Amino acid sequence: MSERNDPKTLHRRTFLRTAGAVAGTVALGFPAVLRAQAPTVKIGVIHGVTGPLAEPGQACRLGAQMAAEAINAAGGIKSLGGAKLELLLGDTQSKPDVARTEAERLINAGAQLLQGPFSSGDAAAMVPVVQQRRVPFLIDIAAADPITANVAKAVREGQQKVQYVYRNFPTGTMFGQLAVRYFNAIFEEAGVSPKRVVLMYANDLFGQSQSRGFQAAHKAAKPGWDIVEVIPWPEPPSDLSTEVSRAKAARPDIIAPITRPASAQLLLPELAKQRVDIMGVVGPGSPGLYEAGQIAVLKEHLEYVMDSVPWPNFKNPRTRAVADEYAKRSGGKTFDTNSGYSYDGMLVIADALERAKSTDPDVVVDAIKKTRFTGHLMVSAGPVVFNEIGDNPNASTALIQILGQKPVVVWPKEAAQQKAVFPRPKR
């Protein structure tokens, strides 16, 4: 196993493959020179592209593929003789057992690094595989804190020798902290001091962990506003009128919803219908509030709505070019959280390979640890770096607002495309 990635060792399979290729070229009468192609680095890209989380999974896959194509078009990994990235695609179906098998399958097919997945349970099932087989693994989305923290702990306590698992995405805890920070920043910038925030959330895995993270961060930060009421609903809901009247009764200044696309389509019109008088709707990390499809359906209901989500930095011209191409290739979808972070993930891998000048797993891991990458496309608090846990402390969300029926970044200031409109104009 230790020799698996050592180019100097001649393996039976390599030998057979080379011998076969040579025999083939000789038989076909081509000059053998044509066969001397640049080497490739195989990267297993594993996302749940079917099953309940297929949509984000497919966005992730396309993002990673486009990044690899861009890297290859720019000459591949130069320090490895212009090696091209060859992607081996895997599908977890959002099932942990399939995720584990897929990781094994792609490593078996020669994957020297792994990237993925969206769902945290899938990522956790892949961790032992990469630790057993010594394959560097970059998590591009899965946000549950313990995934990387547990590996770091096992290494610290001497149960594992090397950490092969790294993550370039804000962790669950960071999501809540960033949301509270952005709430404060926006209130301060507008010179207002709302007091009463009502948190409403879809009671599923995502909604529950987001709302918990937000509440925990609020408790720790003790800002000048209170979460006066917390209202969950079963997802998908058939009607949210009772939930909204409960929220209204709490006399909120801000509604902080964590929705899904279906519940957002009920919640926002209901807030308007019941004439809930608020300064604004600010999601502490909520899907359903910014997608092109949602804007088309909800129209003016989404205008001025804000949300704290990982978001591409459109001030960067390269981001805009990638987003245009992404829209073309995805049938008009927005380049956003998932596609963006998967795109960045592949860039981070290429950067590490470039510096490692080798595909030896331990050398690659050393290079990953020393990462200080500034070519990323997502809004972040600084270059991509990895801390002792294996997470990127600079990975961040952005506060976006729907202005003129388009999502634009309004915070942090460096990435802001426009100033936030807050409190929202009275209707």
The footprint of another protein on residues 278-307 (CB under 8 A) is: none
Answer for which of 104, 189, 303, 366 binds another protein (CB under 8 A) is 104
CB of 97 to another protein, least distance (A): 6
**What are the tokens at 272?**
């308007």
CB of 269 to another protein, least distance (A): 27
Render 150-206 in DSSP notation, one character per residue: HHHHHHHTTSSS---EEE-S--HHHHHHHHHHHHHHHHHHHT----EEEEEEE-SHH
Answer for which of 204, 229, 354, 362 binds another protein (CB under 8 A) is 204
Contact 377, 313 (CB under 8 A): yes
Side-chain-facing half-sphere of 68: CA atoms under 13 Å: 21
Contact 346, 68 (CB under 8 A): yes
Taking CB under 8 A as the rule, does residue 91 contact another protein? yes
Helix 337-356 and helix 54-73, axial crossing angle in degrees, nearest 10:
40
CB of 90 to another protein, least distance (A): 7
Q: How many residues bind another protein (CB under 8 A)?
A: 48
Taking CB under 8 A as the rule, does residue 172 contact another protein? yes
**Residue 1 to residues 9, 80, 155, 216, 386: CA-CA distances in angstroms?**
12, 21, 20, 44, 27
How far apart (Å, rounded) are the C-alpha atoms in residues 137 and 131? 9
Contact 166, 361 (CB under 8 A): no
How far apart (Å, rounded) are the C-alpha atoms in residues 111 and 103? 9
CB-wise, 55 or 229, nearer to another protein? Answer: 55
Taking CB under 8 A as the rule, does residue 151 contact another protein? yes
CB-wise, 140 or 253, nearer to another protein? Answer: 140
Taking CB under 8 A as the rule, does residue 184 contact another protein? no
> Which DSSP letter does residue 50 get?
S
Region binding another protein by CB under 8 A among candidate stretches 49-57, 316-324, 346-354, 407-415: 49-57
Residue with tokens 């992404």: 326
Taking CB under 8 A as the rule, does residue 274 contact another protein? no
Tell me if residue 311 falls in helix, strand or coil. coil
CB-wise, 33 or 157, nearer to another protein? Answer: 157
How far apart (Å, rounded) are the C-alpha atoms in residues 379 and 382? 9
Region binding another protein by CB under 8 A among candidate stretches 32-40, 197-205, 312-320, 398-406: 197-205
The mark string for 206-245 relative to another protein (x by CB under 8 A, - otherwise) is xxxx--x---------------------------------
Answer for which of 88, 114, 276, 365 binds another protein (CB under 8 A) is 88
Q: Is the torsion defined by CA of 377, 381, 382, 383 positive or negative?
A: negative
Answer for which of 59, 64, 77, 107 binds another protein (CB under 8 A) is 107
Tell me if residue 383 falls in helix, strand or coil. coil
Taking CB under 8 A as the rule, does residue 153 contact another protein? yes
CB-wise, 96 or 407, nearer to another protein? Answer: 96
Region binding another protein by CB under 8 A among candidate stretches 84-92, 189-197, 344-352, 395-403: 84-92
Render 241-255 in DSSP notation, one character per residue: HHHHHHHHHT--SEE
Taking CB under 8 A as the rule, does residue 105 contact another protein? yes
Taking CB under 8 A as the rule, does residue 7 contact another protein? no
Taking CB under 8 A as the rule, does residue 133 contact another protein? yes
H and E: helices and strands count for the chain: 13, 12
Answer for which of 41, 45, 53, 58 binds another protein (CB under 8 A) is 58
Q: What are the residues binding another protein (CB under 8 A)?
A: 49-50, 54, 58, 88-91, 93, 95-98, 100-102, 104-105, 107-108, 120-121, 124-125, 127-128, 131-133, 144, 146-147, 150-151, 153-154, 157, 159-160, 172, 203-209, 212
